Amino acid sequence: MNSELQQEETTTRDVSLPAACAACSGEVLVRLTPGRVRGVCLACHLVSDLGLTRGPDGLHIVQLARAAA
């Protein structure tokens, strides 16, 4: 039986990405938390779920496509 307690990481990171908004090319503020990446554009206020992918040259933040009704 494993008696070690695993501590869940609750670290939050904030990143600013200039000219990254898919709608208006405005600055996007990105918040990375364990299990979730969200972004908001400072110009048009678009809030979006983002994804992280690992490429040969490092991490990439990708805007996830969503349908609107």
Residue 53, CA atoms < 13 Å, CB-side half-sphere: 8
Contact by Cβ (8 Å): 10, 34: yes
Query: CA 3, CA 56: separation in Å to the nearest integer?
Result: 38
pTM here is 0.71
pLDDT tens-digit map of 2-51: 545 555 557 899 999 999 888 899 999 999 998 889 999 999 999 989 98
Query: CA 25, CA 1: separation in Å to the nearest integer?
Result: 53
Instruction: At 17, list the tokens.
Output: 């990405």
Give the model's pLDDT for residue 45: 93
Query: CA 53, CA 33: separation in Å to the nearest integer?
Result: 15
* Band (59; pLDDT cuts 50, 70, 90): confident
